[in-house]
Amino acid sequence: MTESEFHILLQRYLDGCCTPNEQALVDQWYDRLEQAEAKMLPSQNQEAIEDAIWHRMVRTQPVAAPVAKVVQHPASFWQTPLVRWAAVLALVAVGLGVLFGLSGRSWLAGQEVATAKDSWTRRTNTTRQVQAFTLPDGSRITLNPGSSLRYAAGFAGPRREVYLVGEAFFKVSKNPHRPFLVFTKQVVTTVLGTSFRVKAYSGSKEASVAVREGKVAVQARTAANLDATPAKPSANGVLLLPNQQVVYSAASHHLTKALVAKPVVLAPQTFEFEERPVPEVLTALEKAYGIAMVYNKAKLAGCTVSIAFYKEPLFEKLDLLCKSLGAYYTLEGTQVVIHSNGCQTN
């Protein structure tokens, strides 16, 4: 079989036009390639490959199998041997300049395409500045440079689903009856209406989700429960509150929950203290940032401090406080732990 005949056969397989013998032959090739599949799908081509396969599979879907059902279960869709083999075919085809005849679509960087109701809309930011836009449900997206977001053009169905490569800040319009899901290669983030940031660049070994407001449920994308919500999170996922984040490691397949690097003030407090008890200062910090301050109440009982905070970040405030107390702090998960031997004596 020549190389040309090889590609023609693969195309026929994707089109569903193979004879039983031809299909069996392709299935045998797929079994041999399964172990090497990850090496044959460079991350820089993955978005284009997904678009090509999705468009072709939706176009050839039988009438009895609604497209909406497939859209709602992307994880199971990608686990089928046909689709995974089609991804290899798509990569070969892209390399040869064969774009599967996607009429009405464009992969030109930075170009948005709005097509039919059940097709996809893509936003790609090729500039050096963040770009803001609004989704059909009123949700506001701020897309970072080098990032891409795609979603069903009609944005219909019981779930609002978007697919991100790169980094974006989401301010989601509240709708408890239609959860909002952000899919990346590594994780699935589900909200009902809140603001948060997702970072998952192509080729990166980590993905992170950081929350500004509300509650966010995060799961590893593999075997994710798409019915999980912040109200009913998955047992295998994590629930995030404001100023919390989770980092997913592709190497360990583990979700690690922690505080964000720069916590923001959630509830403004008075930060000027004149000979006030130390627990009062720590309580004000807890209320302002929504972060638990853990300390030995017995050792700090009766300790007072005179201190004023202004616009310093939280961790600088803690540095100043601990310095005045002769103490230090550590971060343990989503808590701040104050280590002190008691009041300083002059």
Domain ranges of the chain: 3-95, 120-259, 272-339
State both tokens at 314. Answer: 């939280």
User: Which range among 24-38, 42-56, 103-117, 163-177 shows the weakest confidence by mean pLDDT?
Assistant: 103-117
pLDDT at position 154, please? 78
Interval 302-325: pLDDT, tens = 899 999 999 999 999 999 999 999
Q: Which residues share a beta bridge with 313? A: none
| Burial class, 12, CB count within 10 angstroms (exposed 0-12 / middle 13-18 / buried 19+) | middle
Domain 272-339 coded CATH 3.40.50.970? no
Q: Which two tokens stand for residue 28?
A: 């045998």
Strand, coil or helix: what is 26? helix
Q: How many CB atoms lie within 10 A of CB 168?
A: 25
pLDDT, one tens digit per residue, over 1-21 is 554 566 566 666 656 677 877
What is the token pair recorded at 308?
């004023």
Of residues 220, 293, 297, the one with CA closest to residue 252: 220
Q: Which fold has domain 120-259?
A: Jelly Rolls (2.60.120)
The mean per-residue pLDDT over the stretch 17-43 comes to 57
- In whole angstroms, give the CA distance from residue 91 to residue 98: 10
Q: 3-class SS at 294?
A: strand
